[in-house]
Amino acid sequence: MSGFLGPLELDGRVPPGQQTRIAAFLISAHGALARQFAFTLPVRLDAAWQTELNAQFYRETEIVSLLMRATSWTPDFALGYMVAPWETAWLPAPIDGIPDPRLAQAVHLATLAHAVHAGIRPAALLPIEANVQDPFVSALRRIEFESSRLLQSQILFLKGTDLAPHRDAVSAALEQRHAAVRKLWREVLGSIGIDAAGSE
């Protein structure tokens, strides 16, 4: 079992079956983030930090749009039962130690976004031989690069002074989120013949 996508097709493209499974998972995760940022985004911005919410919403939407267009889709009936646990995993979960529901909701969204942006590295799945002219290859690289940028606002918020009194609770929630997201990612990769140990 390899740690990379492939065997590649003769022209260096990722097989459509693998593209479909990877793209479906990433669309599910980033789509969930886009929806949740959309619900959080006020119609009119009242504070400077809310401009970041706007940026996050549009970047997540861009990732979904990019994957929809860059992927060579192929029918994949297994997705029918795979999607349900993914979508369930993105739902808000209670966070022990943070009784304020508004703060808990913000921590939920930030921990989920941190886990998706930091814990999933799609470009690390690409073998050296992958065709750089392939839009799917380019999309995976772009998503990983953008994720590391998007991650910064989650890091700033989760490490920030507002959450300093809740540091242990935040750290525990984030570790749990990472573990849950990585488990799903590992399962997706395992389902297309990839050993996920080196791709998390």
Partner 1 sequence: MPFLNHGSYRIRYELDGPARAPAYVFVNGLTQYSELWGAYREALLTRGFRVATFDLLGQGVSDKPTLFISQDDQVAALRRLIEALGEGPVFLSGISFGGLIALRYAIEHGQRLSGLVPMSCFAELTPQLLLLGNALRTGLILGGTGYLQDLLLPMNLSDQWLKPLLDKLDSVKRQGWLVNDVYALQNLMESFLDFQPLTPHLSAISAPTMILNGEFDFLTPRHLHETLRVEIPNSSLVIIPKAYHAFTLEKGALTADLLARFADDVLGGRWQGNQAVWIAPEEPGGELTPFPDGYDHLRAIPVKRALA
Furthest C-alpha separation in the chain: 56
DSSP class per residue in 108-131: HHHHHHHHHHHH--GGGG--TTS-
Identity of the residue, 62 or 144, whose beta carbon is nearer to partner 1 in the bound complex: 144
In whole angstroms, the minimum distance from the beta carbon of 190 to partner 1 comes to 18
Interface characters, 97-136, with partner 1 (x: CB under 8 A):
-----------------xx--x--x--x---x--------
Q: Does 42 bind partner 1 (CB under 8 A)?
A: no
Q: Binding string, 64-103, against partner 1, x = CB under 8 A? A: ----------------------------------------
**Cα–Cα distance, 162 to 93 (Å, whole number):** 20
How many other C-beta atoms can be found within 10 angstroms of the C-beta atom of residue 127?
A: 15
- Tracing tokens 């909701």 back to the chain, one arrives at 105
Q: Which of residues 146-185 bind partner 1 (CB under 8 A)?
A: 148-149, 151-152, 155, 158-159, 167, 170-171, 174-175, 178
Token pair for residue 9? 């097709």
Q: Does 189 bind partner 1 (CB under 8 A)?
A: no
* Distance separating alpha carbons of residues 62 and 28, to the nearest angstrom: 13
> Which of 28, 12, 32, 10 minimizes the C-alpha distance to 20?
28
Contact residues toward partner 1 (CB under 8 A) are 114-115, 118, 121, 124, 128, 144-145, 148-149, 151-152, 155, 158-159, 167, 170-171, 174-175, 178, 198
